[in-house]
């Protein structure tokens, strides 16, 4: 009985990890190009709320997902224009994205606040496979997008390490001057990956809305998952496949307070336990601010620095 509840917690962690993986894959793509986008939380919220509103009026899940991806594209294009085009400070622009996304999503979501989800992403039906002990709920208890997300992580890993554009992307984050000297366009590579990353981030928000959240509420929908995703990028050393393991771990810590509460286990007050993932996130983000830590963790070397061709 007791082990069963922990198993379910783990299965739940894998499910919630989907949104973390998607968001951190988006951040990995963005940061590998040398641009940091701290606006993940804002992107998630905007993806979630626009998806909800579109689904509410159309009843069409696919249209809702498409619109929220487009919203991510537009928002990240703004970030790209500010940071790549105008060479604005990436941290400031990213934080502005968070504030903007939070405020605008609240405004858009006002009329639908508290309404039940118009459409729901449900786990796939694997028939008898789902009844296998342990393996059933852990492996065969998820929806289509969870499996696609795992495939995407594998695909991006291949893209980064085994393809020509992936090679250029990695070089752009590490040594943009080298790419420039070879006739590659640093700005174009950065634009493309910031936008692709933004699309993934807001898709992560939309998935969370339809698969995990009970209803739209600005305060409770994403719960700071965007910030956790940023920490996860560091945990994963900017490698897509490693993001999966880290996401499950973070997902588990997000679920543990609920399980503790349900089981009435009181080693620590559940509110304290619930702080844990955020404390880790805070610690990781603080650690990331020192150049030495960034180098050791394998951050793109010139992450956060605008590229200006040096023409003497």
Q: Least distance (Å) from other proteins to the CB of residue 166?
A: 8
Q: Least distance (Å) from other proteins to the CB of residue 170?
A: 7
Q: Choose which of 151, 183, 266, 267 interacts with other proteins (CB under 8 A).
A: 183
Q: Does 115 interact with other proteins (rule: CB under 8 A)?
A: no
Q: Choose which of 3, 125, 182, 264 interacts with other proteins (CB under 8 A).
A: 182
Q: Choose which of 45, 179, 186, 204 interacts with other proteins (CB under 8 A).
A: 179
Q: Does 160 interact with other proteins (rule: CB under 8 A)?
A: no
Q: Does 304 interact with other proteins (rule: CB under 8 A)?
A: no
Q: What are phi and psi of 85, to 5 degrees?
A: -70, -55
Distances (CA, A) of 63 to 50, 69, 70, 137, 146: 11, 10, 11, 29, 19
Q: Does 162 interact with other proteins (rule: CB under 8 A)?
A: yes
Contact status, residue 43 vs residue 76, Cβ threshold 8 Å: yes
* Stretch of residues binding other proteins (CB under 8 A), selected from 38-46, 81-89, 96-104, 172-180: 172-180
Q: Least distance (Å) from other proteins to the CB of residue 312?
A: 6
Q: Retrieve residue 80's tokens.
A: 């790209």
Distances (CA, A) of 212 to 99, 205, 234, 281: 24, 10, 25, 21
Report d(CA 77, CA 264) in Å as an integer. 47
Report d(CA 137, CA 276) in Å as an integer. 25
Q: Choose which of 147, 152, 174, 261 interacts with other proteins (CB under 8 A).
A: 174
Q: Which residue has the tokens 């702080």?
A: 275
* Stretch of residues binding other proteins (CB under 8 A), selected from 20-28, 42-50, 168-176, 212-220: 168-176
Burial of 106 (0-12, 13-18, 19+ CB in 10 A): middle
Residue ranges in contact with other proteins by CB under 8 A: 162-165, 167-168, 170-171, 174-175, 177-179, 181-184, 298, 301, 312
């Amino acid at each position: 009985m007791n082990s069963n509840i922990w198993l379910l917690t783990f299965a739940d962690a894998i499910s919630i990890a989907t949104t973390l993986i998607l968001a951190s894959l988006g951040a990995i793509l963005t940061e590998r190009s040398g641009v940091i986008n701290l606006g993940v939380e804002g992107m998630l919220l905007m993806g979630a709320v626009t998806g909800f509103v579109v689904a509410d009026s159309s009843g069409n899940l696919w249209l809702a997902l498409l619109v929220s991806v487009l919203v991510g594209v537009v928002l990240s294009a703004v970030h790209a224009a500010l940071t790549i085009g105008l060479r604005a400070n990436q941290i400031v622009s990213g934080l502005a994205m968070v504030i903007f996304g939070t405020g605008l999503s609240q405004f858009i979501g006002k009329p639908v606040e508290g309404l039940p989800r118009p459409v729901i992403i449900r786990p796939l039906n694997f028939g008898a496979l789902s009844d296998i002990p342990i393996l059933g709920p852990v492996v065969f208890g998820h929806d289509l997008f969870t499996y696609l997300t795992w495939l995407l992580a594998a695909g991006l890993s291949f893209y980064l390490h085994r393809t020509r554009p992936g090679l250029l992307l990695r070089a752009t984050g590490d040594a943009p001057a080298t790419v420039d000297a070879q006739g590659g366009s640093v700005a174009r590579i950065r634009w493309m990956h910031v936008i692709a990353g933004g699309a993934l981030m807001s898709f992560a928000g939309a998935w969370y809305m339809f698969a995990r959240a009970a209803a739209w509420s600005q305060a409770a929908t994403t719960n700071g998952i965007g910030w956790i995703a940023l920490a996860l990028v560091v945990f994963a050393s900017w490698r897509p496949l490693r993001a999966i393991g880290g996401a499950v771990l973070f997902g588990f810590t997000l679920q543990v307070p609920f399980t503790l509460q349900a089981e009435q286990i009181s080693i620590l007050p559940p509110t304290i336990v619930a702080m844990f993932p955020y404390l880790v996130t805070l610690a990781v983000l603080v650690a990331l601010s020192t150049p030495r830590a960034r180098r050791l963790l394998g951050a793109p070397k010139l992450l956060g620095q605008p590229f200006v061709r040096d023409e003497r």
